[in-house]
Structure 1
Amino acid sequence: MEDKLCFFCHCVPDGLCECGLAYCNLHKQIHKPGDYCFPFKVSEREGVGRFLVATRDIRPLELVLWDKAAVVGPGPETLPVCVQCLVRLTPDHVLCSSCNLPLCGAECMNKKEHNDECQIFSKDRFKDELILLLLFTLVYLYIVLQDRFKDDPSLLLMFTMISKFFLDELNLTWTNTEEIHHIVGVLMTNGFENDYNGTTARALYPTLSLASHSCIANLRHAVVPGKQVALQAQDFIAKGTELCIRYTHLLQTSLKRRTQIKNSWYFDCTCARCTDPTEFGTLASSVYCPLCRVGLMLPQNSLQYSINFLTKYKSLLPPSNCYIVISKRYIHASTGNSPDSPISSLRTEELEDKIRFYRSFLRYLGNLDPGYSQHSALATLELSKAEVELFKREMKLEKRIWIEEEETNGENGIKESGKIKSKIQNFLKHQMFVQTQAHRCLRKVGMSKANSSTGVEQKTTFTSCE
């Protein structure tokens, strides 16, 4: 029955796309903004709400969704910025002559985004609506989050006084708790933070917000600096599969990920990675046995928040634990990558250690972040750079050997030296191919600033998996 209704809102459809998906006029543009049909529909399940589902098989790196931000504003932790372009304010910034809001210059004063808010802020008859907007936020925080303020009486007192002022002094009684919870809840839980003109911005993407979370996601989102975002398939996705992104960082233990999700998005993650104590055999949350210091231990139930496993055994973390992997990754990424310390300055032992780590790290990522992964591409480049440098050093010795062979053994020596030269050429050719593929992957999983700002024109960047 669902397939006979609009793919997005499930109302009676106004048309049927050539791909077989029904749509209403309001949401036709979301499905087909140009010549390309996006391969998803919205489904609904009790206890989950609305989510996205693949309407056909999707190839790796194929564009699945393109969305523009409905609202963009400064991030929660940023310096004062221009309300139009969100550039950090300088001492010579200006104030709007109509609403008194800060702008970086006169060129931002008459642009559309600011004009919309300027009309509200500059008219006295709208002041109560602005106060109501503040009220929504404050009352929501007070009602939903007051349990978190019990350890800080001064913070709780502040919220109590502010909410009392709005409710009693201003007597704004024509709203209700459900509206407050819904409006502010959407802003708090569905907002995405991204870089915008060098500052941190928070944006609300209407369609992207429907993507579910999984700690082993099949989609990755690439944010265009500013107001647009693209979702790509990270691996092959079969028709009917739920489309998921990752809300948390890849390299976190199960307890940390699930606690962050519970506190920030108010649900318990029970994805395949969280329900598997071994985390697909990576043992990313394991610790050494405190008795033998050899065997590895895992929580019996990885879904129990009460098992503060890592805090109890933090001195017994094995190499597979996320925290150890992160530490090693930062160390190896920082060595041999600066002008003061180029890779050629590393000792041979350090190069060999770097190569061992990145080979192991790539196997680790293959389980936790399969498919076209930015993490894997960057690790591949680091591994290749180290292998090339080590090979160059080994070939210096080989070069001396082939010169000696040619000088002392005549024609046979020339044949032997030719084999060595061929070995060098084949190795360098292979490394060039590896690095080209890694850079290609990074281009495909990222967003090019040179591309057009419209999703229709950018689709060619993502639809090919070649």
Structure 2
Amino acid sequence: MMKSDQMSSKNVKTNFNCAICGITAISKCAACSLVAYCSKEHQKIHWIKHKNKCVSYEVQTNSNLGRHLIAKRAINPFDVIIKEEPLVLGSKFPTTEPVCIKCLRHLKRSHSTIESLCEQCLWPVCGAECITSINANIHDEECKVLVLGAEKIAKTNNYMYNVLTPLKCILLQFTDKIKWNCLMEFPSHMEHRGLGSEVYEEINLICDYLNQNFLKKLDLKVSSDLIHKVCGILDVNSLDIQVPEMELSAIYSTVSILEHNCLPNISFSYDKFGCISVYAARKIAKNEHLSIMYTNALWGTRERQVHLMSTKYFKCSCKRCSDPTELGTNFSTIICNVKDFCKGNLTSKNPLDISSEWECDRCPNTAMPDKIDTILTNLNGVVEKALQNPSINSLEKALSKLTNYLHPNHYLSFNIKHTLIQLYGHAMGYKHSMLTDSLLKRKLELCREMFFILNIIDPLYIRLNIYSSVILYELHLALLESAARISKNKAESKGMHDEAKEVLSKALDILKNESEGSSGYKLLQAYKSNNNIL
């Protein structure tokens, strides 16, 4: 947990006494404000007793949220709130993609049939290089179980990667009772995952595979009900971790308690061992709930609600979800096409109810949600086709089609625009110096439109920081080109050049906390190396 070896510089009230000697104290612990000290020496002495209580949050429970965390004091921006090792760290669950059984790095499909196999259990490995991997020992416990079905599975190439992380969890009851008991405190929501549900049949395949190939041979008393519960706990509570060449799932004893909000107030980063550091993304008031986001910030409200209900089994009622316009962005808004003349905005009457009618803000027209789904399904096909082999012409054509049915800020248009701004200025025949004035203006407008949206739906740059950074970087390039074209107008040119510097500085700042080796970190290094104005 968080350690405090510095004292607050603020004076405290006279009724605070030093935790060691009892005299009037001059400073409180900067991390938790729970105790005070007369000197730094006494703070160091008291740390042995105080360190387990030195936290800025507390766990609370209610019938709606279950266990959750609140701030028990004001927390300043960028303060470390939690540092924690995972209870369980394994390959992404659920997934069927091949991974190295020892270090969890991705394997190409062709690698799953080559001769690079674990010498004991005969599951695929990435080769000799994973001997020095930091995750090399992560395989030790399940290897003792997987070896039981080694020859049969290797012979048939029947590697079911979905079972790996559940197996890690199951083995904790025999290898680490403390971690196992902690894991079992998390909700599994089996009331939603029972017989007859789609997910029940999927997990049954995992149960059959584990029992038939391994667990029965060990005579371990692991019921199918328990495997279902473990998979439910993983589905509902695990965090997805993306590190270079790896997608992992992890459960943390404290961090996994954090509740969801589509406008979260904390951010986090991982080190190469899967240890997580949780930071305040802004100033957090005493008694404020600490939150992260469980779903995709670039989905509309309807899509986020469906995803949360089907995977996490709750409905989000945050500020963004409760507003039909998504905080004025119109990120989910459909264009009303009654008799092809209205062109008003169609939004849900009650965005927290996925069965709610949608209504126009200009005419009496309403639409049932199934009609909205049909429109979105058809247009999603247009987007996917355009992004398969993107070109400026194909993307502009798709975007033009979308604007007949969707608000210009709609989320389906976002990925097309994000791809467009990277083609304008970089694609063959469309370098910045080759763009017409109108196309350069087009790029500037697209960048500003998208950053306006991101600044509202992710104002603290927690979930969409890479998107924001790319947009700002491309905006700065377009501004530099524009400044160069009007160089005779010194005042206007200088204004654009100064804005470009400011925008680039922001793009770099957004990525400054990216973990080394991550895609965001690599992007930051590329931007720094290409920077010639800061």
Instruction: Provide the TM-score with structure 2 as the length reference.
Output: 0.62
- Deviation of 1:244 after TM superposition, in Å, equals 1.0
Q: How far has the Cα of 1:140 moved from its partner?
A: 9.9
Alignment of 1:346-425 (within 5 A): 346-372=435-461, 374=465, 375-395=467-487, 398=488, 420-421=489-490, 424-425=493-494
CA deviations over 1:248-300 (Å, ceiling 9, x no partner): 12121111000011111111112221122122122222212222432212111
Conservation of the 8 A alpha-carbon contact between 1:108 and 1:114? no
Match of 2:102 in 1: 84
Secondary structure at the aligned position of 2:507 is classed as helix
Q: Distance in 1 between matches of 2:430 and 2:273?
A: 35
1:310 correspondence with 2:372: yes
Tell me which of 302, 317, 323 is aligned to 2:412.
323
Is the counterpart of residue 66 in structure 1 residue 91 in structure 2?
no
In the TM superposition, 1:10-29 aligns within 5 A as 18=29, 19-21=32-34
Mapping of 1:77-156 within 5 angstroms? 77=95, 79-88=97-106, 90=111, 94-105=116-127, 108=130, 111-121=136-146, 144=193, 146-149=195-198
Are 2:432 and 2:478, in contact at CA under 8 Å, matched by a contact in 1? yes
1:40-51 alignment, distance < 5 Å: 40-51=57-68
Match of 2:350 in 1: 301
**Matched-pair identity in %:** 26
In 2: Cα distance, 1:187 partner to 1:156 partner: 14
Match of 1:274 in 2: 321
Partner of residue 185 from structure 1, selected from 229, 232, 242: 232
Q: Are residues 197 and 142 of structure 1, via their aligned partners in 2, closer, same or farther at CA, if it must alter by over 3 Å?
A: farther
**d(CA) in 2 for partners of 1:208 and 1:67?**
8
Secondary structure of 1:103's aligned partner: coil
Aligned to 1:333: 422
Contact 1:71 1:203 in 2 (8 A): yes
1:234 maps to 2:323: no
What amino acid is the match of 1:299? Answer: S
Q: Are the aligned partners of 1:142 and 1:159 in contact in 2 as well (CA < 8 Å)?
A: no
> Helix, strand or coil: the match of 2:196?
helix
Shift of 1:366: 2.6
* Secondary structure in structure 1 of the residue aligned to 2:415: helix
Aligned with 1:323: secondary structure?
helix
Specify the code of the residue in structure 1 equivalent to 2:61: E
Which digits, 9 at most, give the CA deviation of each residue in 1:63-116, with x for residues without a partner? Answer: 333333332222343543322212345576544444444433457569532334
Pair 1:447-2:515 in alignment: yes
Match in the other structure for 1:431 = 500
Q: What's the counterpart of residue 161 of structure 2? A: none
Contact 1:77 1:200 in 2 (8 A): no
Q: CA deviation at 1:194?
A: 3.0
State how 1:147-226 maps to structure 2 within 5 Å.
147-149=196-198, 162=208, 179-180=226-227, 182-224=229-271
TM-score in terms of structure 1 length: 0.70
1:349, CA displacement in angstroms?
Answer: 1.2
Alignment correspondent of 1:251: 298
CA RMSD of aligned residues (A): 4.3
Match for residue 286 of structure 1 among 333, 339, 347: 333
Contact residue 72 and residue 204 of structure 1 kept, 8 A: yes
Residues 1:56 and 2:43 aligned together: no
- The alpha-carbon deviation at position 40 of structure 1 amounts to 2.4
In 1, the alpha carbon distance for the partners of 2:78 and 2:473 equals 19
Alpha carbons of structure 1 residues 269 and 358: separation in structure 2 relative to 1, 3 Å: same
Between 1 and 2, higher relative CO (CA 8 Å, sep ≥ 6) is seen in 1
Q: Classify the secondary structure of the residue corresponding to 1:64.
A: strand
Partner of 2:241: helix, strand, or coil?
A: strand
Query: Distance in 2 between the 1:222 and 1:133 partners?
Result: 26
Instruction: Report deviation, 1:182.
Output: 4.1
Work out whether residues 60 and 371 of structure 1, in 8 Å CA contact, stay in contact via their aligned partners in 2.
no
- Asked if the contact 2:447/2:474 (under 8 Å) is kept, the reply is yes
Partner of 1:203, secondary structure, is strand
Pair 112,66 (structure 1): closer, same or farther in 2 beyond 3 Å: same
Q: Distance between the aligned counterparts of 1:347 and 1:145, measured in 2?
A: 60
SS of aligned partner of 1:220: strand
Aligned to 1:417: none
Distance 1:187 1:425, change over 3 A: same
In the TM superposition, residue 235 of structure 1 has moved relative to its aligned partner by: 2.8
Deviation at 1:209, TM superposition (A): 0.9
Go from structure 1 to structure 2 and tell me whether the alpha carbon gap of 1:157 and 1:70 turns closer, same or farther (over 3 Å shift): closer
**Can you give the 5+ residue segments of structure 1 that lack an aligned partner in the other structure?**
1-14, 23-27, 125-129, 399-419, 451-466
Alignment correspondent of 2:24: none
Contact 1:54–1:243 (8 Å) recurs in 2? yes
- TM-fit CA distance, 1:319: 0.9
What secondary structure, in the 3-state scheme, does the structure 1 residue paired with 2:309 have?
A: helix
Residues 221 and 245 of structure 1 are in contact (CA less than 8 Å); yes or no, is this contact kept in structure 2?
Answer: no
- Which letter does structure 2 place at the counterpart of 1:437? K
Native 8 Å contact 1:258 1:268 kept in 2: yes
* Distance in 1 (alpha carbons) for counterparts of 2:332 and 2:491: 45
Other-structure match for 2:39:
none
Partner Cα separation in structure 1 for residue 139 and residue 230 of structure 2: 22
Contact in 1 for aligned 2:84/2:252 (Cα 8 Å): yes
Check conservation: 2:327, 2:456, Cα contact below 8 A: yes
State the alpha-carbon separation in 1 of the partners of residues 206 and 455 from structure 2. Answer: 50
What is the one-letter code of the residue matched to 2:252? Y
* Alpha-carbon distance in 1 for matches of 2:231, 2:207: 20
